[in-house]
Amino acid sequence: MTSFKRSFGDSCGSSELSSKVFLRSSKGKCTKIVRELYLRRDIPCSSKLCTRCLMDIKGDSYGRKKPFVLSSNAPVNGTIKVPHYIVPDTNVFLHCMDVLEHAAITDVIILQTVLDEVRARSLPLYNRLRALVASGEKRFYVFHNEFRSETYVRREPGETINDRNDRAVRRGVQWYHEHLKEVASDSGKSIAVVMVSNDKGNLDKGKREGVTCCNIKEYVSGMKSSDELLDMISTALENENAKIAKGDMLYPEYYSMSKMMTGVKAGTLHQGKFNISPYNFLEGSIHVPSFDRPLLILGRENINRSVHGDQVVVRVLPKDQWKHPSSKIIEEETMAKNDNPEVEQFEAIETEQERKALIDEAKVSQGAIGEGKPQPTARVVGVIKRNWRYYVGHLDRSSAPSVGGRSQRNVFLIPMDKKIPKIRLRTRQASELFGKRIVVSIDAWDRTSRYPSGHFVRSLGEVETKEAETEALLLEWDVQYRPFPRAVLDCLPKEGHEWRVPQDPEDPRLHQRTDYRGLLVCSIDPPGCQDIDDALHANRMPNGNYEVGVHIADVTHFVKPNTAMDDEASVRGTTVYLVDKRIDMLPPLLGTDLCSLKPCVERFAFSVIWEITESGDIVGTKFSKSMIKSREAFSYEQAQLRIDDKSRNDELTQGMRTLLMLSKKLRQKRMDAGALNLASPEVRIETESETSDPIDVKTKEMLETNSLVEEFMLLANISVAGKIYEAFSQTALLRRHGAPPAPNFEELQNQLRVTRGLTLHTDSSKALADSLDRCVDPSNPYFNTLVRILATRCMVSAEYFCSGTHGYPEFRHYGLASEIYTHFTSPIRRYADVVAHRQLAAAIGYEPLHPTLHSKAKLENVCGNINNRHRNAQMAGRASVEYHVGQALRGKVTEEEGYLMRIFSNGLVVFVPRFGVEGLIRVRDLAPVEPKSEFDAENYRLTVEGSTGSWSVGLFDRVVVKVMDDMEEHTGKRKIKMTLVSVEGQKLV
């Protein structure tokens, strides 16, 4: 309870308040904690019309005063017909942040009371709000009403915290109103102050107290862009009772949070991340520690309003209800094509088609399919944390056939991501938004509705335009692509591109730096690489061994801890590489110039130097900050040509040949230790030089020089990992790759045994590597690569972690067969490497470690973010390749060799190595009338009765497909479409 130090009557003008609480320790001892609050009268209103506040405020130690924010030409609209500032309450910020971020909303006063409430309720929204304040252009001002004596309000006896905060908001508006009336007498220009709230009780009280107020809908209805702004208002603001009155409950009610947590602790319920199948929108799964196989979740009722990525709690169903994973492709667009978006119409939880599909699947599960047992099956009973984000898609034209007028209507948005259900929107802009890529946000998913409801955020542009599609995939994968803020750019060296390595040996920046500028160093990278992280050298030592050096860009010389640039880099986590652009982690001045190890330019580096024997054994390792001068910047192909050119015998070329020779020996040692040689399809998009439009797709060729660079980067990462762990055993930032659970390989093992009579051993990485080498088919040279691609998909993801959170045996990197590993070699494009550089610098005594890197909890947060960013960057890159492959094939038809990767009862998944993509061929698309087919699940074969006779196709079979581009109606994406031409040499048409 807060009280004045003197009686309230005597102290109304006092500037000091105190509160006291009593804390009881575990031993029963009570401690009194007294907190004092000092109130002031010099906190400014920040209106540019106010000269009084400008005179009252004090400057900093240099006498500088912060400029006022709120405009002297305040906005006017149709609702509030006089110049005004607005003061939104907490509810508005929580549910209408998209509206407030719109360019039309300016001159906003954020009370400290509201800011604190937003921070307590939603940290992401709080960060967005702080960004609005920092932008300057929007003129959002934080007024510290809790520290100004006239606006501080005391919580009354029996008053709830929420009511007290509402009263504080109204008091803040009243003070502004009174204060600006006095300002008007000086300036002759009056400005109103309007409270914007969606709380009816707060609005009623405000009106009784003489406060000018309205709700958010009333406020934006008077603006020029009212249609767009009204669409952006969250549907969560609708009255809950009105929603329930619209229909019966379709979905089961969620358990309470306490019931879920109790059940999880007791082991009767299970918590995990919900994943939806890419081939069956009615089938989900969840991995939980108690089961070695994922729990299946089948049907809308069991999925119970979960969205892909949600953290959910499930209850395992009785064993007689366990099912097999689906053997059929079930797509939402075919099952729910005629759904009406109007919620007033009665809805069933599942359509007739969906029920039939589930019954068919249940019948299959009753029979004997494959040799496996049914999989544990569960039902979602609650959601711990929603993974809702911005979703990109397009409006379904069939959901609003009569386009015209400005009346508000319900329509469906079809997300680009097939794993996300259709989203119901209420909009006045349907006619303008058809054919556009638009961004929406999910607000709620009520028990009365088959689909989630959301609101419009913004339009990205016409479907299929490069700008709209690129921004769409960046949003889909949560890539931070905004321009670097001014605060970040202010951290760059003042010399800009003119920065040079100091030439004076006494310069403090050269302290403890080793001078390697005399070494013949070169870099080997992909063609056109500008952000050159690494360079290498090798030469023969007098004792017959070799000195080999890896030199890494010294990013941490420029990016210091606890600066705006470091904060931005840690949030971005990684550079994202798309086909036609790069989203940098660091400003280009650093990434492509001052840090980049460009040829013939002196640069700061962090070097790892080894002494290596002829047989590839490491004799010694040393680390040092350094200076280098690279002699050449080769592409992989240029380096390979240089090494293979027997007429070139200069010292640099000889050094490159030494590196290649040693890299082969290092690679063999890794393979002998059990490192895996896995595969993933990689292609290169060729673009038109002037427009950057894609014109062709080529398979990436792997050269010996690719392996050369890879081996020495791996060696550097392993060496650094050992050093930083030795110095910081509890807080070293490392990277681990766990051994995959045995059930992950069960399906692939069974497929190889049934179709080829091959055995895949997974007891250890060495056993797996050896058995992968034996997976060959003399009649199909590509078969081994195919198996390695599928084996890669059985792996768990590698992850960054803080060493103090795992035992040493769990540090192991399974794929590399290394006991310890980290990332050190790419600090320009990975934040994990920046942290490793700082830890290594401290480990060798170059500089002390920043206090934040001593905190295990903070490092765990960093690891969590960069794991997520790294995964998203990979997915964004793949999505970019997929988009550009579709564009490169536009208007073209070609026949290509492909391989059967997966077989369903009603379709085939074909992989085409030439384009590095998979395509779905449905049985119904094989002929004008869907042919009869029979699926032999035990032997992974599908037999089809065609017009020219029956034919059969099996898993891993080689096929020829006709490949063309196709605009996918459901998602609006241009993708590859395939039709079967022949199977194992047998022509089908």
pLDDT in tens, 624-639: 999 999 999 999 999 9
Buried b (16+ CB within 10 A) or exposed e, 456-492: bbbebeebbebebbbbbbbbbbebebeebeeebeebb
Confirm whether 210 is domain-assigned. yes
Q: What is the pLDDT of residue 359?
A: 63
Residue 370 confidence (pLDDT) above 70: no
Domain CATH number, residue 905: 2.40.50.140
Q: How confident is the model at residue 5 (pLDDT cuts 50, 70, 90)?
A: very low
Q: How confident is the model at residue 405 (pLDDT cuts 50, 70, 90)?
A: low
CB 815 within 8 A of CB 675: yes
Q: How confident is the model at residue 369 (pLDDT cuts 50, 70, 90)?
A: very low
Q: Where are the beta strands (DSSP E) in 215-255?
A: none
CB 283 within 8 A of CB 277: yes
Q: What is the pLDDT of residues 874-888, one digit of tens each?
A: 999 999 988 888 888
Nearest one of 555, 577, 553, 554 to 566, comparing CA atoms: 555
Q: What is the pLDDT of residue 52?
A: 85
Q: What is the pLDDT of residue 494?
A: 94
Residue 851 confidence (pLDDT) above 80: yes
Query: How far apart (Å, rounded) are the C-alpha atoms in residues 390 and 728?
Result: 39
What's the rounded mean pLDDT across residues 526-547?
94
CB 538 within 8 A of CB 524: no
Place of tokens 């944390």: 385
How many structural domains compose the chain? 4
Dihedral, CA of residue 338, residue 342, residue 343 and residue 346, to nearest 10 = -50
Place of tokens 């599928």: 790
Query: How far apart (Å, rounded) are the C-alpha atoms in residues 732 and 148?
Result: 46
CB 639 within 8 A of CB 605: no
Query: How far apart (Å, rounded) are the C-alpha atoms in residues 795 and 296?
Result: 20
Record the tokens describing residue 589, joined without a space: 């001045």
Residue 65 confidence (pLDDT) above 80: no
Domain CATH number, residue 267: 2.40.50.690
- Is the pLDDT higher at 929 or at 901? 901
Query: What letter represents residue 15's amino acid?
Result: S
For residues 572 and 678, state if they share a domain: yes
For residues 65 and 169, state if they share a domain: yes
For residues 714 and 629, state if they share a domain: yes
Cα radius of gyration (the chain):
32
Torsion 721-722-724-730 (CA) sign: positive
Q: Which residues contact 224 (CB under 8 A, 6 or more apart)?
A: 77, 104
Q: How confident is the model at residue 147 (pLDDT cuts 50, 70, 90)?
A: very high
Nearest one of 509, 555, 516, 597 to 836, comparing CA atoms: 555
Q: What is the pLDDT of residue 12?
A: 38
Confirm whether 348 is domain-assigned. no
Q: How confident is the model at residue 686 (pLDDT cuts 50, 70, 90)?
A: confident
Confirm whether 683 is domain-assigned. yes
Confirm whether 434 is domain-assigned. no
In the chain, % helix, strand, coil (3-state, to 5) comes to 35, 25, 40
Confirm whether 546 is domain-assigned. yes
Q: What is the pLDDT of residues 203-251, one digit of tens each?
A: 999 999 999 999 999 999 999 888 888 888 877 665 444 444 445 678 8
Query: How far apart (Å, rounded) are the C-alpha atoms in residues 22 and 592?
Result: 57
What's the rounded mean pLDDT across residues 926-947?
88
CB 688 within 8 A of CB 695: yes
| C-alpha 580: how far from chain center | 20
Q: How confident is the model at residue 160 (pLDDT cuts 50, 70, 90)?
A: very high
Number of Cβ atoms within 10 Å of the Cβ of 73: 11
Q: How confident is the model at residue 403 (pLDDT cuts 50, 70, 90)?
A: low
Q: What is the pLDDT of residues 458-485, one digit of tens each?
A: 999 999 888 999 999 999 999 988 899 8
Query: How far apart (Å, rounded) are the C-alpha atoms in residues 613 and 617?
Result: 5
Residue 14 confidence (pLDDT) above 80: no
CA angle 290, 296, 297 (to 5 degrees): 120
Query: Helices H, strands E: what count in the chain?
Result: 27, 39
Residue 528 confidence (pLDDT) above 60: yes
Record the tokens describing residue 728, joined without a space: 């910081």
Confirm whether 64 is domain-assigned. yes
Q: What is the pLDDT of residue 188?
A: 79
Q: What is the pLDDT of residue 107?
A: 95
Q: What is the pLDDT of residue 241?
A: 40
For residues 166 and 67, state if they share a domain: yes
Q: Which residues contact 576 (CB under 8 A, 6 or more apart)?
A: 474, 479, 481, 582, 583, 872, 873, 876, 877
For residues 518 and 606, state if they share a domain: yes
Three-state secondary structure of 445-489: CCCCCCCCEEEEEEEEEECCCHHHHHHHHHHHCCCCCCCCCHHHH
Q: Which residues contact 949 (CB under 8 A, 6 or more apart)?
A: none
Record the tokens describing residue 710, joined without a space: 């890879």
Q: What is the pLDDT of residue 10?
A: 35
For residues 207 and 305, state if they share a domain: no
Q: What is the pLDDT of residues 954-984, one digit of tens each?
A: 999 999 999 998 888 777 788 888 999 888 7
Query: What letter represents residue 431's amino acid?
Result: S
Number of Cβ atoms within 10 Å of the Cβ of 66: 10
Domain CATH number, residue 114: 3.40.50.1010
Place of tokens 């929007």: 138
pTM of the model: 0.84
CB 875 within 8 A of CB 477: yes
For residues 193 and 278, state if they share a domain: no
Q: What is the pLDDT of residue 324?
A: 87
Nearest one of 959, 966, 961 to 892, comparing CA atoms: 966
Q: Which of 92-96, 116-120, 149-153, 819-823 has the highest mean pLDDT?
A: 819-823
For residues 715 and 578, state if they share a domain: yes
Confirm whether 250 is domain-assigned. no
Query: How far apart (Å, rounded) are the C-alpha atoms in residues 534 and 552?
Result: 5
Q: What is the mean pLDDT of the chain?
A: 88
CB 667 within 8 A of CB 813: no
Percentage of the chain exceeding pLDDT 70: 90
Record the tokens describing residue 128, joined without a space: 């967005």
For residues 184 and 293, state if they share a domain: no
What's the rounded mean pLDDT across residues 665-690?
84
For residues 72 and 192, state if they share a domain: yes
What's the rounded mean pLDDT across residues 16-40?
68
Q: Which of 59-68, 254-263, 943-952 has the highest mean pLDDT?
A: 254-263
Q: What is the pLDDT of residue 917?
A: 87
Query: How far apart (Å, rounded) are the C-alpha atoms in residues 7 and 5?
Result: 7
Single residue among 333, 353, 385 that ends a domain in this structure: 385
Residue 2 confidence (pLDDT) above 80: no
What's the rounded mean pLDDT across residues 346-353?
61
Query: How far apart (Å, rounded) are the C-alpha atoms in residues 607 and 296?
Result: 50
Residue 31: strand pairing partners:
23
- Is the pLDDT higher at 381 or at 407? 381
Place of tokens 């081996």: 711
The mean-pLDDT minimum among 22-26, 758-762, 783-787 falls in 22-26
Q: How confident is the model at residue 374 (pLDDT cuts 50, 70, 90)?
A: confident
493: which DSSP letter? -
Q: What is the pLDDT of residue 186?
A: 78
Query: How far apart (Å, rounded) are the C-alpha atoms in residues 292 and 288?
Result: 8
Q: How many CA atoms lie within 13 A of 442 on its CB side?
A: 23
What's the rounded mean pLDDT across residues 611-625?
96
Query: How far apart (Å, rounded) are the C-alpha atoms in residues 656 and 649?
Result: 10
What's the rounded mean pLDDT across residues 554-565?
95
Give residue 731's region: left, alpha or beta (phi > 0; psi -120 to 50): alpha
CB 812 within 8 A of CB 822: no
Nearest one of 442, 537, 404 to 236, comparing CA atoms: 442
Q: What is the pLDDT of residues 259-285, one digit of tens each?
A: 999 999 999 999 999 999 988 989 999
Record the tokens describing residue 730, joined without a space: 């509890």
- Is the pLDDT higher at 614 or at 7? 614
Residue 11 confidence (pLDDT) above 90: no
Query: How far apart (Å, rounded) are the C-alpha atoms in residues 576 and 470?
Result: 12
What's the rounded mean pLDDT across residues 366-376?
62
Residue 33: strand pairing partners:
21
Query: How far apart (Å, rounded) are the C-alpha atoms in residues 510 and 554?
Result: 13
Query: How far apart (Å, rounded) are the C-alpha atoms in residues 899 and 961?
Result: 9
For residues 279 and 191, state if they share a domain: no
Residue 8 confidence (pLDDT) above 50: no
CA angle 547, 550, 551 (to 5 degrees): 125
Residue 623: strand pairing partners:
608
Q: What is the pLDDT of residue 862?
A: 95
Single residue among 233, 265, 287 that ends a domain in this structure: 233
For residues 559 and 624, state if they share a domain: yes
Nearest one of 627, 663, 630 to 521, comparing CA atoms: 630
Phi, psi angles (nearest 5°) of residue 3: -145, 155
- Is the pLDDT higher at 766 or at 366? 766
Buried b (16+ CB within 10 A) or exposed e, 36-65: eeebeeebbbbbbbbeebeeeeeeeeeeee
SS3 for 360? Answer: helix
Record the tokens describing residue 938, joined without a space: 């035990």
Q: How confident is the model at residue 872 (pLDDT cuts 50, 70, 90)?
A: very high
What's the rounded mean pLDDT across residues 805-811?
94
Query: How far apart (Å, rounded) are the C-alpha atoms in residues 666 and 675?
Result: 11
Confirm whether 28 is domain-assigned. no
324: which DSSP letter? P
Q: What is the pLDDT of residue 245?
A: 46
SS3 for 157? Answer: coil
40: which DSSP letter? B
Query: How far apart (Å, rounded) are the C-alpha atoms in residues 729 and 721?
Result: 11
Give the domain range for residue 312: 257-343+367-385
The mean-pLDDT minimum among 126-135, 156-165, 634-643 falls in 126-135
Nearest one of 70, 162, 62, 53 to 117, comparing CA atoms: 162
